[in-house]
Structure 1
Amino acid sequence: MRKLVESTFVSLDGVISDTRPSTTSRAEPHIWGNKYWDEQHNGYAAKTVENADTLLMGRVTFEGMAEAWAGQSNPFADKVNAMTKYVASRTLTEAPWGGTVLRGDVAEEVAKIKEQPGANILKWGTGQLDRTLVEHGLVDEFHFWYFPVIVGAGQHLFDGAGFDTTHLKLADVNRFDSGIVVHVYTPR
C-alpha cells in the first residue's frame, strides 16, 4: 500500500498561511519562509517529491499551487507539474493543471488511491481535508517544517479541521543550518 505523506510549512507560532480574504500578506509561507530556502531545504523538498508520484490537495491549496507552479520550468517544477494530482473540493467541477476532482466520499476515494500501485502520495497544505484524512486513519506521515520565525497573524495549523485529539509518534527530525527543523510524525 502506498504511503500518504502530509508536508506543511509552519511558523513557530503555528501559522501556515494567510487568511482569506487577504488582510495579512505577511502570513504567506513564500513571504516568511523564503529567506530560509537554501540547499538543505531544496534537497529535502526534492527528496520528498522524488519519493512521490501523486499530489493530493484541498481546493484552496490546489488553486494556489496551480497558479504558482504551472508556468515554471526547472527540474523540480517539471516533476511537480508532471505528477498525478487529486483535489478534494465541493465546488470545483474541473481542475486544470492536470488535476482530477475527487467525487463522492473523499475518504473512500483516497483509500482507493492508496491501494493503487505507485510511489508515495504527497499532500500539501492543511485544512478541512485533514479532518477527513485523520479521522479515517489515511495519513501515514506528517512532515511539519518548522521555520524560525514568528508571524503573528494568519491561519494556524489545523484551524477548522475539527478532529478529536490525535496522538502522534515522533519518527524523525531533520535540522537545517538555516534553523528549519522538519519533524516527521506517524500515527500512534
Structure 2
Amino acid sequence: MGRLHRKDLGLLAVRLGTGGVLCAHGAQKLFGWFGGGGIDGTAKAMESMGFHPGKPAAIASGVAEAGGGLLLALGFATPAAAAAAAGAMAGAVAVHWKSGFFLTSGGYEYPAYLGFVAATLGLSGPGRYSLARIMGCRLDRPGMVLLSFGVATVATAAVVARREQALAAKQEEARQH
C-alpha cells in the first residue's frame, strides 16, 4: 500500500459515511430494518406522498439507496451508484421542497446534502482505497459518469413530474368535491 494518501483516505471516509447512511435508509425501506416500514409500509408512505404505484416506487427508492449506498461505501461502480443515490435524494427533495430548506421545519436539507455528497463522489471517483481499484475495474471512466448521471437525471425528472401531476390531479379532485 506504500505511504498513505490523505485525499484517498478522505474519499474513503466520505464514501463509508455517506454510503452507510444511504444503505441504512434503503434497508429501512426494503427490509423494515432499523425501525423502517419495509416494502409494504414504504409503499403506503410513497403513495401518500404522490408516488404511484407505491410498491414499485418503494422498491426503486430502497434499491437506489441501499444498493447505491453499499456500492459507494465499497467504492465500486461509483458513477452508477452515485447517480442512483443522488436521483433518489432528488425525489426526496421534491417531497420536502414546500417545507423550505431546513430540516427543523421538515425541509429538504438532509436529502439535498446526501444527494450532493453522493454526486460529488460520483464525479471525483472512489479513490485508491476502493474495491474498484483492487479489482482493476474500469467503470469509473468519464463516459460512465456522463451516462450514469444522464440516465439518473432523465429518470428522476420523469418520476418527479409524474408525482407533481398526480398531486395536482388530487388537488383538483378535492376542489371539485
Q: TM-score, normalised by structure 1?
A: 0.27
Q: Which structure has the bigger radius of gyration?
A: 2
Q: Which has the higher helix share?
A: 2
Between Structure 1 and Structure 2, the one with more strand by share is 1
Instruction: Choose between structure 1 and 2 for higher RCO, CA contacts under 8 A separated by at least 6 residues.
Output: 1
